[in-house]
Chains A and B, each alone.
Chain A
Amino acid sequence: MAVSVDEAASTGPVRDRTPRARRFGGRGRSVLEVALLTVLAVVMLFPVLWMIETSIKENRDVYAIPAKFFDFKVTLDHFKDVFFSSGGGRSSLSVSFLNSVVVAGISTVLATVLGVPAAWAYSRFAVKAKKDQLFFILSTRFMPPVVVVIPIFLMYRQLGLIDTKLGLILIYTAFNVPFTIWMMKGFVDEVPAEYEDAAMLDGYTRLQAFRRFTLPLLLPGIAATAVFALIFSWNEFVFAIFLTSGDSVRTAPPAIAGLIGGTTVDWGLVAAASVVFALPVLVFAYLVRKHLIAGVTLGAVRR
């Protein structure tokens, strides 16, 4: 209970530094470890590297045999093609990227707005058959999308949601809400309910108590959860390809996939589109990493 400020402040960085020194000092790493990690890194990163290389190669170099690793001419034409069509104006790929932003963004916001209060309720209140309800909520995620896409397609056809952004937003929200509830419930459980009790006795209503005292403590958790939801919606392929067909509605994953399959494939364009598509995910994944740490240390709040 009575840890002094100095102690509390000093243990953090020290604990943080130990593994880093080990990593860079290299003393703790055996040759075998380094060799294995190098192999792993090469295997994992080669496709990414190749994708980036292809996206900046001229077409001549893309198709060159034997493949050119280093001495190719760098061009940004493929990236230009991603965003602009040959006749000027916006390309259909850029429209699909915008669709992805809209669909992923709105479905994530909806899932967060619906899921966070639900998680709070499941954490704080005595709900009847709470465990069963939570299991039921999670069970909606048990089925892989490919299994449920046909019935959903049939329902959407009845409702006129086929080939609409709204349709995709709804299905992604439906998929993200259970995930948000489960992940957020863990974060809410970590925040002592007594803060809200105290706030209510101070004279706040229950909702004010939640908003003023619990919600700020949940922000790192909300950020981490939202980023996961965003990545899911951003990457989703199966529903997108079954439920949409028009260029104006399509999201990026089916649009990029659509580039492959003609008699000739413009690999430079595919690679450039993939790089553009992957960037947000990489950025967000990096953010998740940071926020996950913040989320985990939330459990270190003294009680």
Chain B
Amino acid sequence: MGTVAAHGLRKSFGKVQALDGVTLDVPDGSFFVVLGPSGAGKTTTLRAIAGLEKLDAGSVHLDGRDATGDTPAARDLAMVFQSYALYPRHTAYENIASPLRARRCSSSEIAAAVERMSNLLHIERLLQRRPAQLSGGEMQRVALARALVRSPRAFLMDEPLTNLDLKLRVEMRTELTRIHRSLGATFVYVTNDQVEALSMADQVAVLKEGKVQQVGTPAEVYERPANQWVAGFVGSPPISLLACHAEGDRLVGAEGWTLPRPRWTTAEDGRPLLLGLRAEDLSVEQRGNASLSGELYGLEPLGDRTVVDVRVGAEILKVKARPTVTGTPGERLHVTVDLDRAHLFDAGTGLALSEAGR
């Protein structure tokens, strides 16, 4: 058992409203990722769940029981900190043993548990070292071992991979997913890296300025962003947003272009809209009936693909193309649009238009 539920969390630091009514429901055994830019309140949310932050309002339920006023120790959670927070005067062994020592386990139990963890995370030869003698990746593993050494209700992870170099980060991503699957435990994982969120999560909650923008599976968040901001935050290269409005069976852009109006949209004529187009739904190579014309603004070769920046009036479209694509800046181009995969947002509220008809 390990469900975590937060309801209406509110917390302010001075004038800054860090959490503005955050509500999350983490099902038992899920890998739940809280995604958002820095300053969105992700860490505060996690600390509130852990009991490290006193809330202005709201409640935290663990396994269905109200734990709002409980001490961190009483909540039976384990946490991995972004800074790892390894005790500097203790060896790796003692760091990993700490949660068991706090629970007065016998030293043979502790030895067995630490050995199990060090095998799982391949840190057998580091156990007698102190944190200062460990590299970033090694510290990260020890911090992870300290959290995993017992079986708490849920594991809280605060950007555990942020301080690692890219190669190690990719490795640990796979490893964490493997560990999660083998334990079947509940993970609440905070990150600002959308790749981590999309690749590891069962469920993603997107947070901005202390408010939950959207909760859903990675596919839902990517394919059906709830609003313009989520669409822009999730996905790389970022989604291109063009100002437009509907006019009969056409969409008319602020920059003078026209496209057929997607069948599913219900927006009334003249209402200011934003057309959201992902790079992979645009093409400079195929010909189709729905296309925009612009000029080549820049090329961004990324090895496996090239991102083509196309200027349409004053707006830039990011288009995913094959790595072999070439061109010179200023050259006229036609960009074919897959309108079935386009997104429309209300330009005023930023909310996605109903896609019920899709």
Interface residue? B176 (CB, 8 A) = no
Does A8 make an interface contact (CB < 8 A)? Answer: yes
Asked whether A197 lies within 8 Å of B136 as measured between CB atoms, the reply is no
Count of chain A to chain B residue pairs whose CB atoms are closer than 8 Å in the complex: 73
Residues of B within 8 Å of A145, CB to CB, are none
Interface residues on B, range: 20 to 34
The distance in angstroms between the C-alpha atoms of A199 and B52, with both chains bound, is 11
A43 within 8 A of B: no
Selecting from B60-68, B82-90, B178-186, the interface stretch reads B82-90
A194 partner, pick from B71, B77, B81, B131, beta carbons under 8 A: B81
Given A1-B136, A2-B135, A206-B71: A198 and B79 within 8 A (CB)?
A: yes
* A128–chain B nearest beta-carbon distance, Å: 12
Which of B98-106, B254-262, B308-316, B345-353 lines the interface with chain A? B98-106
Total interface residues in chain A, CB < 8 Å: 26
B340 to chain A, nearest CB (A): 46
Closest Cβ of chain A to B292, distance in Å, is: 45
| Residues of chain A with a CB closer than 8 A to B51's CB | 200
**A1-B163, A2-B136 given as contacts; is B85 within 8 A of A200 (CB)?**
no
Contact B85 A197 (CB under 8 A): yes
Q: How far is the CA of A79 from the CA of B237 in the complex (A)?
A: 85
Does B241 count as interface, using CB distance less than 8 angstroms?
A: no
Would A303 and B83 be within 8 Å (CB), given that A2-B136, A202-B98, A202-B99 are in contact? yes
Considering the complex, which residues of chain A in the window 216-235 have a beta carbon less than 8 Å from any beta carbon of chain B?
A: 216-217
Report yes or no: B71 in contact with A201, Cβ–Cβ below 8 A: no
- Checking A198, A199, A204, A216 against B89 with a beta-carbon cut-off of 8 angstroms, the contacting residue is A216
Question: In the complex, which residue of chain A has the Cβ closest to the Cβ of B99?
Answer: A202
Given contacts A2-B135, A5-B133, contact A204 B73 (CB under 8 A): yes
Interface 0/1 of A286-302, CB less than 8 Å to B: 00000000000000011
Q: Report A76 CB to chain B, min CB distance, Å.
A: 46
Instruction: Give the residues in chain A near B132, CB-CB below 8 Å.
Output: 5, 8, 302
Q: Is B78 an interface residue (CB 8 A)?
A: yes
CB of A205 within 8 Å of the partner chain: yes
Are A200 and B163 in contact, with the CB atoms below 8 A?
Answer: no
B278 contact set on A, CB distance < 8 A: none
**A296 CB to closest chain B CB, in angstroms?**
16
The 0/1 profile, CB within 8 Å of B marked 1, for residues 1-27 of chain A is: 110110010000000000000000000
15 sampled A-B residue pairs with Cβ under 8 A: A1-B163, A5-B132, A192-B83, A197-B81, A198-B98, A199-B102, A200-B51, A201-B52, A201-B77, A202-B73, A202-B99, A204-B102, A302-B88, A302-B131, A302-B132
CB pair B72–A200 under 8 Å, yes or no, is yes
